[in-house]
Amino acid sequence: MSTEELVNQLSGIRIPESFARFGLQDALAAVALGLILGSIVLAILRVATIRRTRPIDRARTAIAALSRQERQARIAGLAALLRAHGEKMSGLDAALYDPAATIDIGALEAAVIDAARRARA
């Protein structure tokens, strides 16, 4: 018997009829897999396309928000921003604890902006 004759005599693959037809369970499984895959793709795209703000933009936004505060709260907020960028400013301790102490708020804001420019994150 040749190989061709042997192949011709082989019968088709037989599977149970329930496996051969596309039913409701198969459709629901396909929808579930599509939803899971869509969720994964969405999460990846969200991480890949998130808008990242620069430190200088965050500092300017924070300074603008602090400009509506009273003087002592503004100085404390600017000091916190400066400390968040790892910087120090001379005369700041006296201004934080003594309301009568004089400090140039414009210079403090400029120091925060300069520190934010040097920041890498």
Extents of the domains making up the chain: 3-48, 55-118
3-state secondary structure of 119: coil
* Percent of residues, the chain, with pLDDT higher than 90: 34
Residues 6+ apart with CB under 8 A from 77: 62, 66, 69
Q: In this structure, are residues 113 and 56 in contact, taking their beta carbons and an 8 Å threshold?
A: yes
Centre a 10 Å sphere on the Cβ of residue 95 and count the other Cβ atoms it contains. Answer: 22
Q: What is the pLDDT of residues 63-109, one digit of tens each?
A: 999 999 998 899 889 999 988 888 877 778 777 887 787 888 888 89
Max CA distance (Å), the chain: 110
Q: How far apart are the first and last CA of the chain?
A: 76
Q: What is the pLDDT of residues 23-74, one digit of tens each?
A: 899 999 999 999 999 999 999 999 999 888 888 899 999 999 999 999 889 9
Query: Does the predicted TM-score (pTM) go above 0.95?
Result: no
